[in-house]
């Protein structure tokens, strides 16, 4: 395990980062960047660079009015993929927009991202989201390699506290994210109506799926869905449901 890093973005914002090679290193590594103790954890997974503009705009309110405020009110850790695209960008921007102080931790394959002030070495590298407070840089040469790490970081951070995964939109990798959470015993709340993988999983929970992965996940018993068909009218209800679910998990 290498030493921790202090990242400074063009905006002047800073974040702490650490490289890890094995999941067994995570407890010590997270403590080294100030992420110790047991507290509630909200994992956010889903659409990244391929999320459509329509879906992006449709779910934006959920981050600024529900997810970020819930994390702030609970003093929770939030864990996601950390790149400056899709739902991770929305999470970072929402945190800054509401002036929140909760720790926002991005978990990403180091070989797939460009660090601040680092010259891009390949066209397929992705920038880190600058509103995150911490990054865990993990091994991997492909997107999706981070999926089990995201889940394990959440497990280590939560310890005996409740944790919950919110799944919005998403592509192929989001199925891996869902399986990682399910395999960890973490409740996954699917936001139906947010597009793509989320809607496939919601259909499976309604007994309408043709995708075998979705059927298997639905049979796990720890997936639920919340409808986002009319977000303008349901934002407050969604917030209460998510907060109640996280509270139930803490009992």
Residue located via tokens 């899709």: 86
Give the DSSP per-residue string, 122-162.
STT-EEBPTT-SEEEEE--SSTTTTHHHHHHHHHHHHTTS-
CATH of the domain at 101: 3.40.50.450
Q: How many distinct structural domains can be found in the chain?
A: 1
What pLDDT is stored for residue 1 in this prediction? Answer: 53
Does 19 fall in a domain?
A: no
The pLDDT of residue 207 is 93
Cα–Cα distance measured from residue 103 to residue 65, given in angstroms and rounded to the nearest whole number: 18
What would the pLDDT profile of 10-35 be if each residue is shown by its tens digit?
A: 889 999 999 999 999 999 999 999 99
pLDDT at 45 over 60: yes
| Residue 216 falls inside a structural domain | yes
Under 8 Å between Cβ of 30 and 136: yes
| Cα torsion angle, 143, 220, 225, 208, sign | positive
Q: What is the pLDDT of residues 134-158, one digit of tens each?
A: 999 999 999 999 999 999 999 999 9
For 100-130, the pLDDT digits (tens) are 999 999 999 999 999 987 765 666 789 999 9
Chain centre distance of CA 13: 20
pLDDT of residue 246: 73
Alpha-carbon distances, residue 147 vs 23, 83, 161, 217, 219 (angstroms): 12, 13, 21, 15, 20
Distance CA 48, CA 214 (A): 19
Structure tokens at 77: 């850790």
Nearest to 47 by CA among 61, 37, 39, 59: 59
Residue 5 lies in a domain: no
Would residue 115 count as lying in a domain? yes
Model pLDDT, residue 59: 84
Which residue is listed with tokens 């945190």?
A: 95
Residue 30 lies in a domain: no
In a domain, 18, yes or no: no
Q: Is residue 17 situated within a structural domain? A: no
Rounded to the nearest 10 degrees, what angle do helices 172-183 and 147-158 cross at?
30
Residues making up the chain, counted from first to last: 251
Identify whether 96 is part of a domain: yes
Cα dihedral 104, 109, 114, 116, rounded to 10, equals: 30
Q: Per-residue pLDDT for 242 more than 90?
A: no
pTM of the model: 0.93
Whether the Cβ atoms of residue 65 and residue 103 lie closer than 8 Å to each other: no
> What pLDDT does residue 251 have?
43
pLDDT of residue 235: 60
Confidence of residue 3 (pLDDT cuts 50, 70, 90): confident
- Domain that includes residue 225, residue range: 40-249
Look at the block and give the residue holding tokens 């929402």.
94
Averaged over 90-105, what is the pLDDT?
97
CB burial of residue 208 (10 Å; 0-12, 13-18, 19+): exposed
């Amino acid at each position: 395990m290498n030493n921790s890093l202090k990242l400074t973005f063009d905006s002047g914002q800073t974040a702490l980062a650490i490289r890890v090679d094995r999941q067994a290193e995570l407890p010590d590594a997270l403590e080294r960047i100030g992420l110790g103790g047991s507290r509630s954890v909200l994992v956010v997974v889903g659409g990244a660079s391929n999320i459509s503009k329509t879906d992006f705009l449709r779910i934006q309110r959920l981050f600024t009015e529900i997810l970020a405020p819930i994390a702030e009110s609970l003093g929770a850790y939030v864990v996601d993929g950390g790149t400056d695209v899709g739902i991770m960008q929305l999470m970072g921007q929402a945190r800054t927009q509401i002036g929140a102080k909760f720790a926002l931790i991005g978990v990403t394959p180091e070989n797939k991202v460009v660090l601040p002030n680092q010259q891009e070495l390949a066209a397929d590298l992705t920038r880190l989201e600058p509103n995150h407070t911490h990054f865990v840089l993990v091994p991997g040469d492909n997107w999706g390699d981070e999926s089990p790490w995201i889940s394990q970081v959440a497990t280590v951070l939560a310890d005996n506290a409740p944790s919950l995964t919110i799944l919005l939109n998403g592509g192929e990798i989001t199925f891996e994210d869902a399986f990682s959470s399910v395999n960890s015993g973490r409740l996954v709340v699917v936001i139906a109506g947010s597009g793509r993988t989320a809607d496939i999983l919601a259909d499976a929970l309604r007994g309408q799926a043709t995708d075998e992965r979705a059927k298997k996940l639905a049979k796990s018993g720890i997936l639920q869905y919340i409808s986002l068909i009319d977000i303008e009218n349901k934002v407050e209800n969604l917030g209460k449901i998510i907060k109640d679910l996280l509270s139930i998990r803490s009992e």
